[in-house]
Amino acid sequence: MTQPFISVVTGGSSGIGAACVRHLAKRGDTVILLDLPGTWDDEKLRKLGAQAGYACDVTDEKAVREVAAMIEKKHGPVSGLVNSAGILQHKLPPDQLTMKEWDRVVEVDQRGTYLACAVFGSRMAELGSGAIVNIASVTGWRSVPLHAYAPAKAAVISMTACLAAEWGRSGVRVNAISPGYTLTEALQAAIDRGDRQPEELTIQAAMGRMVTPDEIADSAGFLLSKAASAITGINLPVDAGWLAGANWITYGGMPASRAVNSGGAR
């Protein structure tokens, strides 16, 4: 009997994490959702296609180790891990960004990602196979006024390369995805409140639009699959060309579409 491909998704109850759960379940993985208590119920698990969901704070080492052991005992060895658990921060200058908020962002986005990698990845290395995808951010590549979030995501990019080298000869691949501005429920809510302006989020994107959570999930699924068997240690931007278009504003901005009757390139 073929061993099922068991994938764990942290932060799997919403946003990019939920899209990854749906994608992996649809392709046939046995998907285990991890998130904070109260962020999902049985109906949500059913809709997402997850086999099971477990409450887990990724910053809690004891909790992560216990849930990893329980998953292996109840479901089998974990083959894939998507680290999507993360929090945002308020856009504040350093004199207004409290260390309490700074610590919390770094604790979840950097420490939480590393801890999940260390626990699940070390076991994968012992077993001789596995793949990990860490959700980073394009803000980890550029200067932005997010003095906790962007450095934490830059650390995720760095640790991805470090762990790829650490476990490469043990059969474990580790890659990162850097999403651009992704139209999650949280971002849509911020737009609806007037906290963010869509034109500010798309003006420098080469494709003139935001990214969807499903597009991030598609890329995560690829990096976990055998189709990416020789790919490790990379940081893949999935950003609708946000990085590519960053400097065009100094030359008048992006050229308009040349396509006849085009509603915009996809």
Domains of the chain: 6-243 (3.40.50.720)
7-33 pLDDT, tens digit each: 999 999 999 999 999 999 999 999 999
Based on the residue annotation, tell me whether 149 is a catalytic residue of this protein.
Answer: yes
Beta bridge partners, 179, equal: 238
Task: Say how far apart CA 84 and CA 98 lie, in whole Å.
Answer: 24
Question: Is the pLDDT score of 257 beyond 50?
Answer: yes
Determine the pLDDT at residue 29.
Answer: 97
What is this structure's pTM? 0.95
Cα–Cα nearest to 221, from 31, 45, 88: 31
Q: Which of 110-124, 126-140, 188-202 has the lowest mean pLDDT?
A: 188-202
Cα(160)–Cα(173) distance, integer angstroms: 9
Percent of the chain with pLDDT strictly greater than 70: 97
Question: For the residues 120-126, what does the mean pLDDT come to?
Answer: 98
- CB contact at 8 A, 87 and 14: no
From the list 54, 114, 149, 181, the catalytic residue is 149
For residue 216, pLDDT over 50 is answered with yes
For the range 227-232, what are the long-range contacts, defined as Cβ-Cβ under 8 Å and sequence gap of 24 or more?
228/131, 228/173, 228/175, 229/173, 231/173, 231/175, 232/164, 232/168, 232/173, 232/174, 232/175
The more confidently predicted of residues 195 and 132 is: 132
Whether 265 has a pLDDT exceeding 70, the answer reads no
157-179 pLDDT, tens digit each: 999 999 999 999 999 999 999 99
Q: Phi, psi at residue 197, to the nearest 5°?
A: -110, 125
- Would the pLDDT of 36 be above 90? yes
What phi, psi does 123 have (nearest 5°)? -70, -40
